[in-house]
């Protein structure tokens, strides 16, 4: 078995694509409209889908917001320097919701940013 992708429902596909590509530096890997189903799928990631897991952004036409609920936690990204990543994300218009620093009860340096729909993305500094 292999992990393929994580799907997130988004309220504004163009806004979300801008965040994931311009703020987080991912690439748009593919995008397809499904007129009969009234939805669009866009896949973003740092590598091709054959090489690793990606994020599927699902836009259901005419739905501009979702309740996130309390079961989903976050997506995690490895970064070489969480402090610098926060500065760069903020400079590109991203929202940092937890500044870089050691995690509670540990030494791993983490930070959290939020996408336009409110999904949390954890930045984990790799040593």
- What CATH number is given to the structural domain containing 89? 3.10.180.10
Token readout for 88 is 């760069």
Which entry of 22, 51, 88, 122 is annotated as an active-site residue? 122
Q: Is 51 a catalytic site residue? A: no
Answer yes or no: is 90 within a domain: yes
Q: Which pTM was predicted?
A: 0.90
Q: Are 79 and 120 found together in one domain?
A: yes
Q: Are 117 and 82 found together in one domain?
A: yes
Answer yes or no: is 69 within a domain: no
- CB-neighbour burial class of residue 60 (10 A; exposed 0-12, middle 13-18, buried 19+): middle
List, for residues 47-92, the tens digit of each pLDDT value. 999 999 999 999 999 999 999 898 899 999 999 999 999 999 999 9
Token readout for 119 is 């999904």
Range of the domain at 119: 75-125
Q: Are 79 and 119 found together in one domain?
A: yes
Token readout for 82 is 């969480």
Q: Are 54 and 80 found together in one domain?
A: no
Q: Are 9 and 56 found together in one domain?
A: yes
List, for residues 17-38, the tens digit of each pLDDT value. 999 999 999 999 999 999 999 9
Number of structural domains the chain divides into: 2
- Strands of the sheet containing 120-125, edge to edge, are 75-79, 120-125, 109-114, 95-102
How far is 96 from 100, CA to CA, in rounded Å?
Answer: 9
Which helix (H) or strand (E) is 84 found in, with range?
A: helix 82-91
């Amino acid at each position: 078995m292999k992990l393929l992708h994580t799907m997130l429902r988004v309220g504004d596909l163009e806004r979300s694509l801008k965040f994931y590509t311009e703020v987080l530096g991912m690439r748009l890997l593919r995008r397809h409209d499904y007129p009969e189903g009234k939805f669009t799928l866009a896949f973003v990631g740092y590598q091709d889908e054959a090489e690793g897991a990606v994020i599927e952004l699902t836009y259901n036409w005419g739905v501009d917001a979702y309740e996130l609920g309390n079961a989903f936690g976050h997506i995690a990204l490895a970064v070489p320097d969480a402090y610098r990543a926060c500065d760069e994300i903020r400079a590109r218009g991203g929202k940092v919701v937890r500044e870089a620093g050691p995690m509670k009860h540990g030494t791993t340096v983490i930070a959290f940013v939020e996408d336009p729909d409110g999904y949390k993305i954890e930045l984990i500094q790799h040593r």
